[in-house]
């Protein structure tokens, strides 16, 4: 049976009874009068809709930016003729993945320095390099690189937190992805700002200018973390976000050092600290959420805060294991994200899905913890709810935004196939993504990104990375010289 969107129609007052029925059945839906724009097929259509999770040999019909019908291929082909079609032979069709937390422009710091704890990594390398290199041009190039990588990997929506958010939003607008672009503000000097006052003012201005400007872009506030933003300033963010009905994205309960700092200075946990300042009354997207106790989890569930799990980054920085199974059991919407490419070192959401499924089996000693279907839902349906877009994206349903991807099932290494959820989590990867569609627009077809000039992008990245490499070499020489001077004669 085809699931179709119902479009309300009304006649004039004097049209009644049989005349109304004749009008309804004789008049085509305005959305479909000229035929839909796109039909995408799949040997498997994984909707992520619990009421209708899987269709064999199905199709999704797109008109404008929305899904208007979904059903078996035979029925879709009888009812619709589209301007454009994309074959589904040997392919699975599903919602695009949702990256709930990242720092896009940090792709330019990919592999810059590794194998350090969080605070050493931040204070000795990331913050100094950001102060030296982060400019609008840097952010534009790094964001383009990130968007190219995400489109290639099947990510269709991401939540970003980085400097010069206007540049990030501009890249998103051009490349066609969907994003929550969160403007950072912090108590210390940062690229382009002397401290809190100017960074918070700029964030407020950014949110005001971008609200309602581009349907695919949602501006948000991004106070960095409770250890870099004072209680008074966190309260200021709460008040401004409430006034402007805006989202907030922030790092929270990320590592033991943060927990120790909050306990020492405020005698509580990071979650209860920010909740006491009003943050939990807002539409908060909380990244990492590693250092949680039972009371923190209950409070997060009760407040409806979206939590974003970053398994690869947290493992790499030794931050600990987020209690994801306990949060899910308590009713917390938990999404997934790779964090920035400086701490991951990629933006591959398929890796995050697989890591999440495996990590919590190991951590709990229970192989049934976080099964494949649930891990996949965290990157789609549950992840959409975590970032407050559950009514818009994350499932293939009529009326929702047409954000969808196709993956190949046709390689020899894909054989045999028994369960599509298991295959997507434990067998397929980002290189199997063939097609990416966002808001009805095809961004990638047959592995070719259509909205970003790859050759120009490569040239820009090589130029910037050469400058960073030279700075790292200079820093290394200085450190070696200092160590030599400190050696006893």
- Same domain for 167 and 196: yes
- Same domain for 121 and 30: no
- The CA distance from 320 to 414, in Å, is 33
How many Cβ atoms from other residues are within 10 Å of residue 305's Cβ? 26
How many Cβ atoms from other residues are within 10 Å of residue 255's Cβ? 23
- Same domain for 369 and 283: yes
How many Cβ atoms from other residues are within 10 Å of residue 482's Cβ? 9
Phi, psi (deg, nearest 5) at residue 362: -65, -45
User: Does 473 or 331 have the greater pLDDT score?
Assistant: 331
- Same domain for 29 and 123: no
Q: How does pLDDT run across 366-420, given as a tens digit for each residue?
A: 999 999 999 999 999 999 999 999 999 999 999 999 999 999 999 999 999 999 9
- DSSP3 helix / strand / coil % (the chain, rounded to 5): 45, 20, 35
- Mean pLDDT (whole number) for 328-349: 96
Number of domains in the chain: 2
Q: How does pLDDT run across 68-118, given as a tens digit for each residue?
A: 999 999 999 999 999 999 999 999 999 999 999 999 999 999 998 888 887
- Same domain for 444 and 381: no
- Same domain for 428 and 309: no
- The CA distance from 46 to 24, in Å, is 32
pLDDT of 13 = 37
Q: How confident is the model at residue 19 (pLDDT cuts 50, 70, 90)?
A: very low
Instruction: Decide if 324 contacts 293 (C-beta within 8 A).
Output: no
- Quote the percentage of the chain above a pLDDT of 70: 91
pLDDT higher than 70, residue 16 = no
Q: How confident is the model at residue 482 (pLDDT cuts 50, 70, 90)?
A: low
Q: Which two tokens stand for residue 225?
A: 């973390």
118 found inside a domain: yes
The residue range of the domain holding 70 is 1-95+405-452
Q: How does pLDDT run across 130-152, given as a tens digit for each residue?
A: 989 999 999 999 999 999 999 99
Instruction: Decide if 254 contacts 291 (C-beta within 8 A).
Output: yes
pLDDT of 334 = 98
- Quote the percentage of the chain above a pLDDT of 90: 84
- The CA distance from 480 to 189, in Å, is 28
50 found inside a domain: yes
Q: Which two tokens stand for residue 262?
A: 């909050």
pLDDT higher than 80, residue 343 = yes
- Same domain for 166 and 78: no
Which of 476, 371, 386 is CA-nearest to residue 158? 386
- The CA distance from 68 to 79, in Å, is 12
Query: Chain-wide mean pLDDT for the chain?
Result: 92
How many Cβ atoms from other residues are within 10 Å of residue 479's Cβ? 11
CATH number at residue 219: 3.20.20.140
For the chain, the first-to-last Cα distance in angstroms comes to 85
User: pTM (2 decimals)?
Assistant: 0.91
- Same domain for 156 and 90: no
pLDDT of 99 = 98
Which residues have C-beta within 8 Å of that of residue 208, sequence separation ≥ 6?
Answer: 244
CATH number at residue 430: 2.30.40.10
Instruction: Decide if 58 contacts 72 (C-beta within 8 A).
Output: yes
- Same domain for 282 and 213: yes
- Same domain for 30 and 106: no
Tokens 């997934």 found at: 336
pLDDT higher than 80, residue 28 = no
């Amino acid at each position: 049976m085809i699931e179709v969107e119902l479009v309300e129609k009304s006649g004039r007052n004097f049209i009644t009874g049989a005349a109304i029925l004749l009008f309804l059945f004789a008049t085509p839906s305005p959305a479909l009068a000229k035929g839909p724009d796109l039909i995408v097929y799949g040997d498997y259509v994984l909707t992520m809709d619990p009421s209708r999770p899987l269709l064999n040999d199905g199709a999704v019909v797109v008109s404008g930016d929305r899904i208007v019908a979904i059903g078996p291929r035979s029925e879709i082909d009888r009812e619709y003729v589209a301007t454009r079609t994309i074959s589904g032979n040997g392919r699975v069709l599903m919602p695009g993945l949702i990256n709930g937390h990242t720092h896009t422009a940090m792709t330019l710091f990919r592999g810059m320095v590794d194998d350090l704890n969080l605070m050493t990594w931040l204070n000795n390398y990331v913050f100094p390099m950001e102060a030296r290199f982060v400019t609008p041009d840097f952010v534009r190039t790094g964001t383009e690189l990130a968007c190219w990588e995400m489109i290639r990997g099947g990510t269709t929506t991401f939540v970003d937190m980085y400097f010069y958010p206007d540049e990030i939003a501009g890249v998103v607008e051009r490349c066609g992805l969907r994003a929550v672009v969160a403007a950072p503000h912090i108590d210390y000097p940062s690229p382009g700002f002397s401290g809190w006052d100017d960074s918070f003012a700029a964030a407020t201005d950014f949110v005001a200018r971008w609200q309602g400007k581009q349907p695919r872009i949602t501006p948000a506030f991004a106070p960095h973390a409770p250890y870099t933003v004072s209680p008074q300033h966190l309260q200021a963010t709460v008040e401004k976000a409430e006034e402007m009905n805006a989202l907030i994205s922030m790092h929270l309960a990320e590592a033991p050092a943060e927990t120790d700092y909050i306990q020492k200075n405020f005698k509580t946990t990071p979650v209860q600290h920010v909740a006491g300042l009003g943050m939990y009354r807002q539409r908060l997207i909380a990244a990492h959420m590693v250092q949680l106790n039972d009371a923190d989890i209950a409070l997060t569930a009760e407040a409806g805060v979206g939590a974003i799990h970053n398994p690869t980054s947290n493992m790499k920085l030794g931050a600990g294991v987020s209690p994801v199974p306990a949060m899910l059991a308590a009713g917390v919407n938990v999404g997934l994200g790779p964090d920035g490419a400086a701490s991951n070192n990629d933006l591959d959401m398929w890796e995050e899905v697989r890591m999440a499924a495996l990590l919590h089996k190991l951590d709990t000693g229970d192989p049934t913890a976080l099964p494949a279907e649930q891990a996949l839902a965290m990157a789609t349906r549950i992840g959409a709810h975590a970032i407050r877009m559950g009514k818009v994206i994350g499932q293939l349903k009529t009326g929702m935004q047409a954000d969808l991807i196709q993956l190949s099932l046709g390689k020899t290494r894909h054989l045999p196939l028994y369960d599509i959820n298991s295959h997507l989590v434990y067998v397929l990867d980002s290189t199997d993504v063939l097609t990416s569609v966002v808001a009805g627009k095809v961004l990638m077809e047959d592995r070719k990104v259509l909205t970003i000039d790859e050759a120009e992008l490569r040239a820009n990245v090589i130029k910037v990375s050469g400058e960073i490499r030279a700075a790292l070499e200079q820093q290394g020489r200085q450190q070696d010289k200092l160590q030599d001077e400190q050696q006893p004669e």
